[in-house]
Chains A and B, each alone.
Chain A
Amino acid sequence: MNWSLILQWSFLIALVTAGIRLAVPVVLAVLGEIITERSGVLNLGLEGVMIMGSVAGFLTAYYLENGPMASAGGEWSAWLALLAGMLSGVAMGLIMAVLSVTLRADQVISGVTLVVLGHGLAAYFYRQAFSSLTARVSGMEALPIPLLSRIPVVGEILFNHDPTVYITALMVVAVWFLLFRTTWGLRIRSVGENPAAAETSGVNVGLVRYSATLLGTALAGLGGAVLTVVQLRLFREGITAGRGWIAVALVIFARWRPGLALVGALLFGLADALQYRIQALSQVERGVGAIPYEFLLMLPYIMTILALLYRSGRADAPAALGRPYVKGAD
């Protein structure tokens, strides 16, 4: 009796802890997309941005650990790899921004094409760098927060993670603060709601949309890098497994709010963690009633559709979302 209780507790704690960790790349991407969409740009290319971030981050980490710089880079390799992920995200964002802001091309098509570009380039760079597929990087050490991590249960779940988890938590607050408590955030939102009015009051619509798009893709690229550099510590083609698309869906679910985005991404992370764990369990007891792991892998995707069933409608969407701004046309 006692034992089973302890087992259940430890199972739950491990589940929630893993769920939080798995949510991190998605949270970062959703936060980024919220900033971008708040400015009126619909970047559907997030999946391509994330996979570029994941390959750029992984390759950087690998070369810093194994290349001629190995002794010098050492400790900082993971951090530099995350930076590389952000920069590759910005590069992808630049393509999106030029197409959708400067050239006013269709944003749906641009976004979808950006995903294909990301997949093609990521696989190209990775295969060119490695002939074998067994490369690993060392990732990041856990950083238990002094004192707080000793709190029973709560400490284990919240304060015993690698640094990217804490940074992501701070990011949620930072993005909320940026959007709702700074002048820049006000400009982003006004450009997303009514670009003509914003322009009249002296806001440079193009500049704001560029910055929001680039900041958004920087965060998505960071999310991709966290996935390969810190969490999985390897790269495979298609490793982001639709996280970029899920992030786009979660923005709608979250009604363009950072706080709700965190909730949505945590739900996704929990489903993902549950799926991993039950997969492991059902391999142990391969008997009748074991759930095929494919059905568990479906969970996040089914949940996303269900979430949209209850969060559809565009009442909360920025009014000018997806619409190119033509000066003087209104």
Chain B
Amino acid sequence: MTELGSSPVVEPGSGDRASEEELSLAPEQRFQIPPALVNAGAPILGAIIGLLIGALLIVIAGRDPVEAYASMLKGAFGGSRQITETLLKAAPLLLTGLGFTVAFRTRVWNIGGEGQYYMGALLGGMVALFFPEWPPGLLLPAMLLAGVVGGMLWAALAALLKIKRGVSEIISTLMLNYIAVLLVAYLSRGPLQEPGGYLPESAQFVEAARLPGLFGTRVHLGVLIALFFVPLVYVLLWVTPLGFWLRAVGSKDSVAEYAGFNVEKAIFFAMAFSGALAGLTGLIEVSTVHTRLKATITGGYGFSGILVALLGRLHPVGVVLASVFFAALFIGAESMHVLSGLPETLAEAIQAVVVLSVLATDALAHRGQAE
């Protein structure tokens, strides 16, 4: 997180770099407290603070927080069925979180995961709708590829706007979110609507277009795909020259430029990669959960994936842990809702508080070293 600690600039190439460097501290000063301690400690402390504030919200609602949290824990991990649900929820969080990890390491603020998710679902879903007669061995890879391409293209649009015209990717990716959702909403009640159907949704995908379950369980291929990207992202960022280049661009543009790195290409790659993973997530979710195209295929992963990446310290292993924690909160909150009537959106509030606490802890640790 140290690279993110003092990153004020929304748009690179703005000429602010020199003065920014003056502000940032020398590396040896920065690491007086063992960074590993801050790295691991801050998320744990953040989780505790988040759960305490969640307890406060439960008390305000006039309920017993211990009881509510017990029902959450049971709902998330209480049996093999619950653990399956938690895993299925963690997979999309992990996949989007890994994409954002690469983007944020490059200091590309892709906030458009939601739109990229929809475009991946749309393109992949269209393959499923147009070629239902294909055998699964051809259909599924084609769908996965289309999902990747859909998300990647939507992200690439924002990357081009940034590189060519200096449009802040924060704003463009966000606006593209709304546009993508509306596009899918229109298509699934218009041209792609189920023939003869009344609901604003496409026909259901054929059996061959659904990712198969593993070993006869509900845990599907998507979970494996997500796990596959964990070592891949690690290798990408810390073993390959490409990863070194991305992190160099993310830490200090000026240094990267002097060293002959192409900043624009790095921005484009990071954006496209994170978009591809968001698109893939969208395809996996429509293929397994929704099994058709409609306006309401969101799982909110475009935003919660950002928090997962941050809580996971922009490290693949951390992102795995953070995705399971977030998934447990989501699934647990659902069962808490059923049992006690407390709104399940409590999970979202807790998650945001957790990340805010981590931000504060990090900043405090930095501040302590600065003075």
Contact = CB atoms under 8 A, between A and B. Distances in A.
Given A249-B171, A301-B175, A309-B167, A128 B343 contact: yes
A321 interface: yes
Contact of B360 (A103, A115, A248, A329): A103
Contacts of B11: 312, 314
Contacts of B224: none
B168 A116 contact: no
A199 B265 CA distance: 40
B23 A330 contact: yes
Contact of B20 (A116, A127, A241, A323): A323
B4 A106 contact: yes
Nearest to B182: A294
Contact of A245 (B16, B174, B370): B174
A116 B359 contact: no
A326 interface: yes
Contacts, number: 168
B175 A302 contact: yes
Contacts of A312: 11, 165-168
A106 B4 CA distance: 7
Given A105-B359, A313-B166, A324 B171 contact: no
A116 B352 contact: yes
A110 B359 contact: yes
B175 A120 contact: no
Interface in B127-186: 161, 165-168, 170-172, 174-179, 182-183, 185-186
B362 A105 contact: yes
Contact of B348 (A123, A301, A309): A123
A286 B319 CA distance: 49
A295 B189 CA distance: 13
Say whether chain A's binding surface is mostly helix, strand, loop, or mixed. helix
A322 B359 contact: no
A108 B7 contact: yes
Interface in A282-315: 292, 294-295, 297-298, 301-302, 304-305, 308-309, 312-314
B167 to A, nearest CB: 5
Contacts of B109: 108, 112
Interface stretch (B65-73, B215-223, B277-285, B302-310): B302-310
Contacts of A305: 161, 167, 171-172, 175-176
A120 B363 contact: no
A44 interface: yes
A183 to B, nearest CB: 27
B246 to A, nearest CB: 18
B276 interface: no
A94 interface: no
B352 A117 contact: yes
A226 to B, nearest CB: 21
Nearest to B349: A120
Most buried by A among B304, B350, B355: B355
A95 interface: yes
B178 A298 contact: yes
B345 interface: yes
A104 B182 contact: no
Interface in B27-51: none
Contacts of A115: 303
Contacts of A138: none
Interface string A66-103: 00000000000000000000000000000100110001
Interface in A147-190: none
Contacts of B353: 117
A308 B7 contact: no
Contact of B345 (A124, A252, A330): A124
B360 to A, nearest CB: 6
B78 interface: no
Contact of A123 (B23, B61, B343): B343
A110 B357 CA distance: 10
B168 A252 contact: yes
B167 A308 contact: yes
A113 B366 CA distance: 20
Nearest to B295: A294
Interface string B56-100: 010001000000000000000000000000000000000000000
A297 B189 CA distance: 15
Contacts of A119: 345, 348
Contact of A308 (B22, B168, B190): B168
Contacts of B304: 116
Nearest to B346: A124
A301 B167 contact: no
Nearest to A100: B363
A103 B352 contact: no
Interface in A192-251: 237, 241-242, 245-246, 248-249
Nearest to B355: A113
A121 interface: yes
Contacts of B346: 120, 124
A17 interface: no
A229 to B, nearest CB: 21
A107 interface: yes
Contacts of A292: 186, 190
A103 B364 contact: yes
Given A116-B307, A292-B190, A124 B161 contact: no
A298 B182 contact: yes
Given A305-B167, A312-B165, A322-B10, A294 B172 contact: no
Contacts of B351: 116, 120
Interface of A: 42, 44, 95, 98-99, 103-110, 112-117, 119-121, 123-124, 127-128, 237, 241-242, 245-246, 248-249, 252, 292, 294-295, 297-298, 301-302, 304-305, 308-309, 312-314, 319, 321-324, 326, 329-330
7 contacts: A44-B170, A106-B7, A108-B170, A115-B303, A116-B352, A298-B179, A312-B165
CB-CB nearest 3 A-B residue pairs:
A120-B348, A120-B349, A117-B352
Given A120-B350, A294-B186, 13 more contacts: A99-B356, A105-B359, A108-B10, A113-B310, A113-B352, A116-B307, A117-B352, A120-B345, A120-B349, A128-B342, A298-B179, A301-B175, A308-B167
